[in-house]
């Protein structure tokens, strides 16, 4: 949230549930996607000469939709050329394809179910992304992604919750601060 040119974070806490991002007792960055996704793709291209092919879909974000309108599925003229052959697919297209061709998926997605009106859903998680991402976790119903991770991936859970000084990511401190349950 922005107010007067300053960035704030809101969370479910007591009377002081909004705080300036610059005043939180931990580092905050918007660089995750750049560091974890974009830089490795650029490095891959530099090392191999090959351009990346991803499964990004235009329906996933406004930016991806705008990129698809400008470049289509193959952004040959982009600063960093990339191919997104699934750009025009929807989530329903993906689920129908998986079901029709009996493609195995990761167990965390559960089963594909039909609501009776030919709308498909997953019985497990709807999206995965980075398992350590905390974006919006304080808004999730229980069990939230960290509570689920504790059950399904206990080693990764321990690593992400453990304090930085003990060799972990230190997310427990952040989750405590924003009053997001993870135990």
Q: Which residue has the higher pLDDT, 57 or 139?
A: 57
pTM attached to this predicted model: 0.66
Residue linked to tokens 């991402």: 133
Contact criterion met (CB below 8 Å) for 43 and 49: no
The predicted-structure confidence for 50-77, as pLDDT tens digits, reads as follows: 988 999 999 999 999 999 999 999 988 8
3-class DSSP assignment, residue 16: coil
DSSP 89-111: --HHHHHHHHHHTT----GGG--
pLDDT band at 97 (very low <50, low <70, confident <90, very high): very high
Q: What percent of the chain has pLDDT over 70?
A: 89
CB contact at 8 A, 65 and 87: no
**What mean pLDDT is predicted for residues 135-158?**
91
Question: What own/partner pairs with CB < 8 Å and gap ≥ 24 does 11-18 have?
Answer: 11/138, 11/177, 11/178, 11/179, 11/180, 12/138, 12/178, 12/179, 12/180, 13/178, 13/179, 17/179
Query: What average pLDDT does the segment 116-124 reach?
Result: 91
């Amino acid at each position: 949230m922005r107010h007067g040119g300053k960035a704030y974070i809101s969370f479910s806490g007591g009377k002081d549930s909004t705080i300036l991002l610059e005043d939180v007792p931990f580092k905050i960055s918007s660089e995750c996607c750049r560091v974890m996704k974009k830089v490795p793709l650029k490095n891959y291209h530099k090392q191999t000469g090959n351009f990346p092919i991803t499964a990004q879909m235009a329906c996933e974000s406004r930016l991806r939709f705008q990129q698809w309108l400008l470049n289509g599925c193959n952004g040959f003229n982009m600063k960093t050329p990339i191919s997104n052959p699934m750009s025009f697919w929807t989530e329903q297209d993906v689920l129908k394809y998986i079901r029709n061709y009996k493609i195995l998926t990761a167990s965390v997605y559960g089963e594909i179910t039909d609501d009776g009106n030919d709308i498909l859903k997953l019985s497990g998680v709807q999206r995965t992304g980075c398992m350590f991402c905390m974006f919006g976790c304080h808004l999730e119903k229980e069990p939230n992604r960290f509570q689920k991770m504790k059950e399904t991936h206990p080693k990764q859970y321990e690593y992400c919750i453990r304090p930085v000084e003990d060799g972990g990511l230190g997310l427990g401190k952040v989750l405590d601060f924003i009053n997001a349950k993870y135990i």
